């Protein structure tokens, strides 16, 4: 019986591994999550054939290029455009183009004109997803690109169908991701546990008066929508002892975590935890900087309906570091990490579902996960 189970595990692993042999990998330098400058982008379809790509960067001058392909073969070009954008950092840039196809592959390139650093992304577009027609503008008339805004922000909502839009408000705090070998993958369900559902006429405004998640939809029976979060005004940085403690949940034991959370002074409790990982105070500072820099970057790049560090991608980014290989697929993306002297190479697959990237979980991941967590706990910095 054990032999049969072993054969089943081995065959599953071989099938799992074989799915990574095809497709486009970026092995020299991942196109994502290794940004030399901060970038965010969003696509809005304002009509059946008119598309707009909105970009926010921390660059004052950048070259924005798009190429739309009919499919993954990248042989038939549907649209191609380049534009140099000069504006203040964090203002929204825009490039418009026309594509009649309902589905297409969009290659995005953003090049900082001063440093010559380049960010590239591949996005699979399906215009039948109604949420891609939703435009969200701030008080200044800029398209809201990031999935988080400040409290009391006023947003104007429009859709090309002129229909009423709905904003569902979720006040509760969402759970961090479970380890990758666990079968407890958390999925956001917009039909449950919302505090209010507010109708907004097309072109109307809404004021976000409290922290929490605002989920914008054209139809409340849909699972599709756009996430807009209101966190504290320091986000995506970790700015409180409470946040510092909570975001260490991936590397703390349960009793250890409870002890820190119940300590009289959270700051002293989390400091003591990190001092226990290091040989001296100076190295403890290095560990703290390394860990919370990853948490901040996870918040910046992976925020969906909850903080980026709580998502599947954010969790793996914090524990394993930047992936060395990335493949964007029609259904999601794949991250690859090379072998180390303590574990084999490992690849994680994420499935795209209603604006979420959900990890395909496997018991096989327990060993590499335990190795990486152990090294964090022993104060070993690898990446």
Average pLDDT over residues 48-57: 94
Q: Is residue 331 part of a domain?
A: yes
| Residue 119, domain extent | 39-126
Average pLDDT over residues 162-175: 95
pLDDT over 60 at 114, yes or no: yes
Which residue among 98, 126, 154 closes a domain? 126
Average pLDDT over residues 174-179: 96
Q: Are residues 270 and 330 in the same domain?
A: yes
Q: Are residues 203 and 247 in the same domain?
A: no
Q: Are residues 258 and 296 in the same domain?
A: yes
Show Cβ contacts of residue 165 under 8 Å, excluding neighbours closer than 6 positions: 134, 157, 159, 199, 200, 201, 202, 204, 216, 217, 218
| pLDDT bracket for residue 321 (50, 70, 90) | very high
pLDDT score, position 24? 42
Q: How many structural domains are present in the chain?
A: 3
Q: Are residues 288 and 203 in the same domain?
A: no
Distance CA 204, CA 184 (A): 39
Q: Is residue 160 part of a domain?
A: yes
Which residue among 126, 145, 164 closes a domain? 126
Q: By percentage, how much of the chain surpasses pLDDT 70?
A: 91
pLDDT over 70 at 166, yes or no: yes
| pLDDT tens, position by position, 201-259 | 999 999 999 999 999 999 999 999 999 999 999 999 999 999 999 999 999 999 999 99
| pLDDT tens, position by position, 26-45 | 333 445 565 678 899 999 99
Average pLDDT over residues 319-326: 93
pLDDT score, position 75? 85
Q: Are residues 120 and 139 in the same domain?
A: no
pLDDT over 90 at 180, yes or no: yes
Q: Are residues 264 and 365 in the same domain?
A: yes
Q: Is residue 11 part of a domain?
A: no
pLDDT score, position 328? 87
Q: Contact 326/334 with Cβ under 8 angstroms?
A: yes
Distance linking the first and last C-alpha atoms of the chain:
41
Q: Are residues 90 and 151 in the same domain?
A: no
Most confident option among 80-84, 115-119, 322-326: 80-84
Task: List the one residue out of 346, 358, 360, 246 whose CA is nearest residue 312.
Answer: 358
Q: Is residue 24 part of a domain?
A: no
Which residue among 126, 145, 167 closes a domain? 126
Q: Is residue 17 part of a domain?
A: no
pLDDT score, position 340? 95
Q: Is residue 1 part of a domain?
A: no
Q: Are residues 368 and 338 in the same domain?
A: yes
Q: Are residues 223 and 248 in the same domain?
A: no
Q: Is residue 15 part of a domain?
A: no
Residue 5 φ/ψ, nearest 5 degrees: -60, -40
Distance CA 296, CA 380 (A): 20
| pLDDT bracket for residue 74 (50, 70, 90) | confident
| pLDDT tens, position by position, 274-315 | 999 998 899 999 999 999 999 999 999 999 999 999 999 999
Q: Is residue 298 part of a domain?
A: yes
Q: Are residues 119 and 136 in the same domain?
A: no
pLDDT score, position 383? 67
Tokens of 51: 């598309």
Q: Are residues 214 and 251 in the same domain?
A: no
């Amino acid at each position: 019986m054990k032999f049969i189970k072993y054969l089943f595990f081995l065959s599953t692993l071989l099938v799992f591994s074989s799915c990574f042999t095809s497709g486009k990998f970026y092995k020299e330098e991942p196109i994502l999550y290794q940004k030399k400058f901060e970038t965010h982008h969003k696509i809005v379809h304002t009509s059946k054939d008119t598309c707009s790509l909105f970009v926010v960067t921390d660059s004052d001058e950048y070259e924005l290029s798009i190429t739309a392909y009919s499919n993954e073969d990248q042989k038939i070009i549907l649209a191609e455009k380049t534009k140099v954008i000069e504006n203040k950092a964090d203002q929204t840039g825009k490039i418009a183009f026309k594509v009649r196809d309902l589905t297409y592959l969009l290659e995005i390139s953003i090049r900082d004109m001063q440093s010559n650093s380049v960010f590239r992304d591949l996005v699979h577009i399906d215009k039948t997803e109604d949420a891609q027609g939703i435009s969200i503008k701030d008080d200044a008339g800029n398209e809201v690109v990031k999935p988080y805004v400040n409290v009391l922000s006023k947003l104007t909502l429009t859709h090309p169908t002129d229909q009423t839009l709905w904003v569902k408000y979720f006040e509760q705090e969402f759970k961090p991701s479970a380890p990758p070998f666990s079968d407890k993958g958390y999925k956001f369900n917009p039909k449950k546990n919302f505090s209010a559902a507010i109708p907004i006429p097309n072109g109307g405004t809404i004021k976000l008066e409290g922290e929490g998640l605002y989920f914008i939809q054209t139809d409340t029976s849909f699972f599709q929508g756009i996430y807009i979060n209101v966190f504290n005004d320091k986000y995506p940085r970790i700015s409180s002892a409470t946040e510092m403690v909570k975001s260490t949940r991936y590397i703390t034991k349960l009793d250890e975590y409870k002890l820190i959370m119940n300590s009289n002074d959270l700051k002293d409790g989390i400091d003591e935890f990190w001092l226990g990982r290091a040989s001296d105070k100076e190295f403890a500072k290095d560990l703290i900087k390394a860990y919370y820099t990853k948490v901040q970057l996870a918040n910046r790049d992976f925020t969906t309906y909850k903080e980026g560090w709580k998502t599947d991608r954010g969790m793996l980014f914090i524990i394993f570091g930047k992936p060395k290989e990335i493949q964007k697929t029609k259904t999601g993306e794949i991250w690859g990490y090379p072998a180390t002297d303590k574990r084999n190479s490992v690849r994680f697959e994420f499935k795209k579902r209603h604006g979420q990237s959900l990890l395909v979980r496997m018991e096989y991941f327990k060993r590499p996960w335990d190795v990486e967590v152990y090294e964090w706990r022993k104060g070993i910095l690898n990446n």
